[in-house]
Structure 1
């Protein structure tokens, strides 16, 4: 599979991007790939030089939660941290819009997964600009202040944020799970029709669905403005969940392989004492 076709390198039109990619034996292939990723993460952890930030964005029902469960299933629990960002808390609103994301970044050797990300600050707040008032920004006094220039300036700050953490050794990979409106309808109906899935449904999902076109417009703008060499976006067709999971996993694997993670080797002094240490243990 040619991973590069999913990477945003030139200006895209989201309506022209496919929402479905059917990969034969996707589940079987995923099992092999996720084990390889887990092994690479072990080496990353031992080396202690890099960390990785996996960002997942998508419309409601795009499959972010299940993707996280399936792709990172074989990771050592010490090696992966998942953060699901909700409505900002009172404390978080007392800081700048990137603060809560910065303090959640993975330490060197670890993989951090952001389920919804810092891009909510140029997505949800752009669809619902009144939300920004809760941040109490001195220069924002009315809706007129929340124009395109305001959000584009925020996007530039996000680009700077990602450039900064990449320079410090964080591998940043961003995935937009591109779901069709029809498939979202089917998934919402499934939540309503299957009693065990009812708890997942929220009436708010229907309200946000009515704003579908606005969300698509905002996603297209941020994808075009914030896909960079050090923090690329990948548009992943999400109508078929197994294929989407495999595409994300295969992309992570190929990107990780570029770094050639290596476990540290013992110095000559320690190597010379290995037999001595073995003898001490065997003599107990």
Structure 2
């Protein structure tokens, strides 16, 4: 299938969920169970996902060789939305040497002693590489906003702890992403939009399966009590930071196979726009290569 035809297909599964402007954004307008009319029995989704992962592997090789751009993939979601499995499946064909996954847990004392962006900045991808943030600096306007006792541990001067702190942090994040874009960092942000009912089903499966018990934490149930607060925080974050240069994708997450398809399609579509190519060999380099080949050929 020609690339243009694949891209045309891909757009059907990315554009409905792509948010490049927060104006008028309402999270309730997005159905966590949406599949754009696809189902796995048709095989179309599985085939397109395979094509997408192979294509991404080819593009990553050129990204690494060209050494000009870098790609930052940000994943945010409620627990059990499938971040880990999505990253695993979508990036399955990518060379590990050109990709780094960073998962951000509770901050250390050293991290708390710095500004809220510090620990994330230190893990940004270098040129030619793909960086994946499994949770990210958006936690600073999500979990910290829902649980303001966490904010107190950051020991900010009282003058900067006012009612505008969340708007100010969101503005800081938006400016930071604009800055990164001007440095050649392509930013894609994915909110895996899981329904409360589907999260309950997945938690129950973890509890019922002894081999999955390790994935469950009592705090997971406790956090469900703040579901509406989290949804409000996600809606505010997406509305304030969605842009053409750093779009959000509100990805339906109730069907994992469709989640993976949308994420893979969005990455392929964005990387294809870079028009990546292998570096051209100069005439001088060609002479050097010819000389090296001749020397090797002379060896006994």
TM-score, scaled relative to structure 2: 0.90
Q: Is the 8 A contact 1:62 1:184 kept in 2?
A: yes
User: Is residue 19 of structure 1 aligned with residue 19 of structure 2?
Assistant: no
1:32 corresponding residue in structure 2? 51
Moved over 4 A (4+): none
- Asked whether the 8 Å contact 1:173–1:231 carries over to 2, the reply is yes
Q: Does 1:65 align with 2:79?
A: no
Q: Distance in 2 between matches of 1:273 and 1:207?
A: 65
Match of 1:236 in 2: 251
Q: Which moved more, 1:273-282 or 1:253-262?
A: 273-282
2:198 pairs with 183, 186, 191, which one? 183
1:82 matched to 2:101? The reply is yes
Equivalent positions of 1:1-284 (< 5 A) are 1-2=11-12, 3-8=14-19, 9=21, 10-22=23-35, 23-24=38-39, 25=43, 26-139=45-158, 145-147=161-163, 149-284=164-299
The 1:125–1:228 alpha-carbon spacing in structure 2 relative to 1, beyond 3 Å, is same
Alpha-carbon displacement from aligned partner over 1:218-256 (angstroms, at most 9, x marks no partner): 111111111012111110000000110110000100011
3-state SS, counterpart of residue 228 of structure 1: coil
Deviation of 1:34 after TM superposition, in Å, equals 0.8
In 1, Cα distance between equivalents of 2:183 and 2:116:
21
Structure 2 CA distance for aligned equivalents of residues 120 and 273 of structure 1:
51
The CA distance in 1 between the partners of 2:291 and 2:29, in whole Å, is: 66
Offset at 1:139?
2.5
Q: Give the gaps of 5 or more residues in structure 1.
A: none
- Does the CA-based 8 Å contact 1:129-1:146 persist in structure 2? no
| C-alpha contact 1:133 1:140 (8 A) present in aligned 2 | no
Give the paired residue count: 280
Q: Note the aligned Cα RMSD (angstroms).
A: 1.3
SS of equivalent residue, structure 1 residue 44? helix
Q: Is 1:6–1:234's contact at 8 Å kept on the other side of the alignment? A: yes
Rounded Cα–Cα distance in structure 2 between residues aligned with 1:44 and 1:99: 26
* Unaligned residue ranges in structure 2 (runs of 5+): 1-10
SS of 1:53's equivalent?
strand
| Displacement of 1:146 | 4.9
Shift of 1:140: 5.5
Please tell me whether the aligned partners of residues 51 and 110 of structure 1 are also in contact (alpha carbons under 8 angstroms): yes
Distance 2:63 2:29 in 1: 37
Q: Could you report, residue by residue, the CA deviation over 1:48-90 in whole angstroms, capped at 9, with x for unpaired residues?
A: 1100100000111010000111011111111110000001111
Change in CA separation of 1:29 and 1:230 when aligned onto 2, cut-off 3 Å:
same
